[in-house]
Chain A
Amino acid sequence: MRSEGLRQVRIGAQLLEIEYPEFWVILLCAAAWLALLSMRMMHGTYGIVCAMDGGMAGTSIPMRGVSSRAVALLEMMRMPALHWLIMIPAMMAPTLLSSMRVVAGRSLWSRRHRAMAVVLLGYAAPWIVFGLAVEALIAIAPTGIAPCLLAVSLLAAAVWQLVPLKQRSLVYCHREPILAPSGLRADWACLRYGLLLAGRCGTSCWALMITCAAAGHALWITVLITAVVWAERFRPGLPLRWSSAALCCAALLAWGAA
């Protein structure tokens, strides 16, 4: 009886994997959100708050061959960079589901998970580089501008929503891959497709993501930006001026709080 139950569970899992090969991307997203919430509960806020609390001066740890300023920067960036790394799968993984499904459907059966993983790698790499650069810039920003950084970045994101290039980039997020069937050519094609997607999505969402970093990855702003990104992806008919207006309101709130 028990073995029959186990058999059904095993077959059920196999069937789910056959029908929804992109299931692990959803799991990745869920795990990332759990991690974000856990970190929030354990560490509270940082980023601009950290800068406002005294900046680099209090965090420097001298190391041989490395300037104390660089060490301090690395130390300051540790948590924001970690948040950025987790934020990418949390916010962006669901927007990739349809692309992942297409990649799986266009790959040989035995290669479909590998193909999706390589696409994800290609997608994540530019976002990580971009995120580290943004976090570094925020970390070295003069403490005087920190209070208004969030409001300014929200306003910039609101303006970017209305730029035609943003709309065009959103359309290009739907591009389909042309994949070689096997071998290194297939891996390269997947990597190139991931990079292409990152380029399109980066052009579309760079301002929104900077806002998250500028807010020190505060939960409310992360949720707001996630809602905007997901709405754009899953409800393509929604006018971008609505999300632009919402971002403007958030900018006013942030300005008032600063």
Chain B
Amino acid sequence: MTPQAADGCTASIPERHQNQSPALMAETRRLAMRIRKDVWKLATDPQDKTLYWYSVAVKEMQSRLFNNPLSWKFQAAVHGYDASVYPPLRPNEKIPTAAIQKKYWDKCQHASWHFLPWHRIFVYLFEKMCRDAISAKGGPSDWALPYWDYSHPSNAVQRTLPTVFRSSSLPNGSANPLYAVRGAGVNTGGVVGSNTQTENTTCLKSKAFSGAFPNGFGGGQSKPMQFSHYTGSCENSPHNQMHDAIGGPTGWMDNPDAAALDPIFWLHHSNIDRLWVIWLKDPSHTLPPDAAWNKQKFDFFDATGSSKSFVANEVLQTTGPLCDYAYQDTTSPLAAQPAPAIKGLLGRFGAPAGSKKGTAAPASGKGPAGKGALEKLAAKAMNKAQIVGASKDSGIELKSDATSVAFQLHAPAPIAQVGRKALSLSESASEPQRVYLNLENVTAQDLPIHTYEVYVNVPKGSDPGKHPELMAGLIARFGLVKASKPDSTHGGQGLNLSFDVTDIVATLDKSGSWDPQNIRVTFAPHDLDEASTLAKEGRAVQDRQPVKIGRVSVSIQ
């Protein structure tokens, strides 16, 4: 397969190539990129040694002592550290000083707009450490971290864990450095994750990078903290879902304070990073201009073991200025199916007060009414989301059977009209509207035994599982407990999730069963197999505190 490099390649070109034709220059530039390849395509090529060299690098890093910043455990602790689940210290091994721990450990950024840039820096530095270890062992100089693209609804093999990660020992009897304890069936070749967990098209439909209800592709605005409040669509699914699916209730991958100990973690994040590249290929998608986002500094140890600060805007492209890689395949799975949206949605919620439906905005004939700041504000107003309904009772507890909450929607305010007036646009120029289901302040004091499927308006008495067309998404376990600890920097507020339910509303509307006065959201337990597995092993599953949801709301944009 011919590698498909990402756009905007800016890698340095060796001097000997500088007098070549533009086409050859482009080709040279492309080849100068390291290509992150699909792990399953590598696994089926007997000639390819990428995974062999990965295991060599992992083994080398695992052999280093904990207080070495280039060691396996140190790198995992940068993401998160919980002494109770880390492998015990070796006889001559010392834990780094408290000052080092405070500055570099437990720094993974989740549930905020820093999630993607922080993880890109983190994974890239790890990849460089692997490269150096591989070079030192005589391996190839163009080695790149592969990615695991598990989002293939029809390709069951692609959705299983690559073979070399499964066995605890190698044929020669030595320990397999790529092995880790994982969820039920993962290490035995079972399909990992349900279609909903592996699904990656919903997040790619997100229009904005950041926001709150909807939370955008990349998450809500926040200062840097390990778990903030607003989980972006890409982070919720497939990122969190696959952490759950791979780790199960007992594996490292489902615990943010141990996840990076599992060698598959890095291939999973390589794939999440690839989704960011795919999302950005849509010309209508842009990154936040805010300095609070793109000038945010993060401290790491680089591949030479030196302390260094990295700024988010160094990694906004995989091809420079910091990074030097491209992905083998960045074809959007949405290419064949444009994002559906609903026009005239306001009418389906009842006539909004003060709106003049169908009347065109005054056409001054002078183009946009304002320039610069006013235009920006007008554009923001046209994309402004608003809450149109919410559950009345706070503290919805999710149990081991289906739980429902009902509420009604209110007429939305015609705020987009103000934006259209400012830009002297006619009514017909309005964007199709989208509907979001929001779960506010989802908390859990204990790791939930289930994840939960979220459905909208399942007919009463009907099994939610028989209505996949009404499923809005899944509540993941990953990070939920950590985000709910009252003594942590986030104040134990839990996570805010947002699901795009436009398709569901359209489906209900088409069948004549959309009633804004009667919205019913149902939460049905998922992963019952794992629950029964734990029960068979005699582990306590009954005493765990339930997942709680502060409020369920609906917003439109």
Among the stretches B154-162, B331-339, B370-378, the one at the interface with A is: B370-378
A174 at the interface (CB under 8 A from B): yes
Q: Which of B353, B364, B421, B441 contacts A176 (CB 8 A)?
A: B441
Is B422 touching A15 in the complex (CB atoms < 8 A)?
Answer: yes
User: Nearest Cβ in chain A — how far from B364, in angstroms?
Assistant: 7
| Number of residues on chain B facing chain A (CB within 8 A) | 44
Cα A11 to Cα B380 in complex, Å, equals 13
- Contacting pair A19 B381 (CB below 8 A): yes
Contact B440 A14 (CB under 8 A): no
**Residues A11 and B421 in contact, CB atoms below 8 Å apart:** yes
> Given the complex, which residues of B lie within 8 Å of A14, measured CB to CB?
418
Q: Which of A33-41, A60-68, A105-113, A116-124 lies at the interface with chain B?
A: A105-113
Chain A positions within 8 Å of B448 at CB level? none
Is B410 part of the binding interface, using a Cβ–Cβ cutoff of 8 Å? yes
Chain B residue contacts of A178, Cβ below 8 A? 394-395, 440-441, 550-551
Contact with A along B411-422 (1 / 0, CB 8 A): 011010011011
B520 contacts the other chain (CB 8 A): no
With A15-B377, A18-B384, A178-B550 known as contacts, the answer to whether A109 contacts B422 (CB < 8 A) is no
Establish whether residues A109 and B392, one from each chain, have CB atoms under 8 Å apart when the complex forms: no
Nearest CB of chain B from residue A191's CB, rounded to whole Å:
14
Main secondary structure of the interface of A (DSSP, over half): helix
Q: What is the interface residue range for chain A against chain B?
A: 20 to 34
Knowing A18-B381, A171-B489, the reply to whether A181 touches B422 (Cβ < 8 A) is no
Encode contact with A along B351-391: 1 for CB under 8 Å, 0 otherwise: 00100000000001000011000100110110010111111
CB distance B440 to A181 under 8 Å? no
* CB-based nearest A residue for B379: A15
Give chain A nearest CB distance to B391 CB in angstroms. 8
A208 to B387, CA, bound (A): 38
B489 and A105 contact, CB distance less than 8 A: no
Interface residues of B in 398-427 (CB under 8 A from A): 407, 410, 412-413, 415, 418-419, 421-422
B389 surroundings in chain A (CB, below 8 A): 108, 181
Q: Which of A19, A107, A178 has the most CB of B within 10 A?
A: A178
CB-CB under 8 A for A110 and B413, given A4-B364, A178-B550, A178-B551: yes
Asked if A108 and B418 sit within 8 Å, CB to CB, the answer is: no
Q: A185, B392: Cβ atoms under 8 Å?
A: yes
Residues of B within 8 A of A7 (CB): 369
Q: Which residues of B are found within 8 Å of A180, using beta-carbon distances?
A: 390, 392, 394
Q: Within residues 163 to 196 of chain A, which ones have a CB less than 8 A from any CB in chain B?
A: 168, 171-172, 174-176, 178-182, 185, 189
In the complex, besides A18-B377, A108-B386, A176-B441, 4 extra interface pairs with C-beta distance below 8 angstroms are A105-B387, A108-B389, A171-B488, A181-B392
